[in-house]
Amino acid sequence: MAQINPSILSADFARLADEAKAVEGADWLHVDVMDNHFVPNLTLGVPVVESLARATDTPLDCHLMIENPDQWAPQYVEAGAGSVTFHAEAAAAPVRLAREIRAKGARASMALKPATPVEPYEDLLPELDMLLIMTVEPGFGGQAFLDIMLPKIRRTRQLIAKHGLELWLQVDGGVSAATIERCAEAGADVFVAGSAVYGANDPAEAVRALRTQAQSATASAGWACGH
């Protein structure tokens, strides 16, 4: 089943608890952590994640766009995140870090920026619960979807099938009613949407509509979605 994860980055940061509640019914709440070093933007950190975890029943999907995730990622598990994504480009020891995230009780996920290929990480995929393919350069919400990422999504779906993995394949950046079907057909099964959800008049309805679109595109593409 296709999963829709609204990105809190596009919400009103002065009303985070209400904004989290506005999308209850979503599969996960996507929380973009940016440190102004790995990306040229600064958002929120561990204390805010702790508060969000108390404010909503929706599990938190933390996307860490930070340097030194080896040091920081475990703290986001302790703060209450159910899934923690670190960037391949920033991690010093991705296998050790994925194992540590899992050992602490969260799903371990790794993200690839647009120019980072998936192939060098093929042997590492069994260590992960999810791979995130960025479909914009990380750092900001509201950017245009990069169509040139579709072949990478397709190749990753083939690697998942080749190794018989349970790995979820997430896309993040510019995902909307206009682009979600192409992502689903290419093989994505977890969809982050910021402006397409929080920019809608009814964010909860936007989540439902995106999920319906993704599910029918997945069904017609014919690859099996494992959840």
Binding residues for Fe ion (CB under 5 A): 32, 63, 172
Residue 172 among the catalytic residues = yes
Query: Among the residues of the chain, which ranges form H helices?
Result: 16-21, 46-55, 69-78, 94-103, 150-163, 180-186, 195-198, 203-221
DSSP 102-133: HHTTSEEEEEE-TTS-SGGGGGGGGG-SEEEE
- Residue 202 annotated as binding site: no
| C-alpha–C-alpha distance, residues 13 and 52, integer Å | 11
- Is 3 among the residues that bind ligand 5SP (CB under 6 A)? no
Smallest distance from ligand 5SP to CB 30, Å: 6
Please say which residue, 69 or 173, places its beta carbon nearer to ligand 5SP. Answer: 173
- Is 43 among the residues that bind ligand 5SP (CB under 6 A)? no
Residue 32 among the catalytic residues = yes
- Is 10 among the residues that bind ligand 5SP (CB under 6 A)? yes
> Which listed residue (143, 204, 215, 223) binds ligand 5SP by CB under 6 A?
143
Best CA proximity match to 124, nearest among 107, 106, 108: 108
Which tokens hold the place of 86? 């670190």
The site partner of 101 among Fe ion, ligand 5SP, none (C-beta below 5 to 8 Å per kind) is none
Smallest distance from ligand 5SP to CB 64, Å: 10
Mapped to the 3 state alphabet, what secondary structure does 49-73 carry?
HHHHHHHCCCCEEEEEECCCHHHHH
Please say which residue, 43 or 218, places its beta carbon nearer to ligand 5SP. Answer: 43
Binding site for ligand 5SP (CB under 6 A): 7, 9-10, 30, 32, 63, 65, 136, 138-143, 172-175, 192-196
Q: Which residues are catalytic?
A: 32, 172
Residues belonging to the binding site for a divalent metal cation are 30, 32, 63, 172
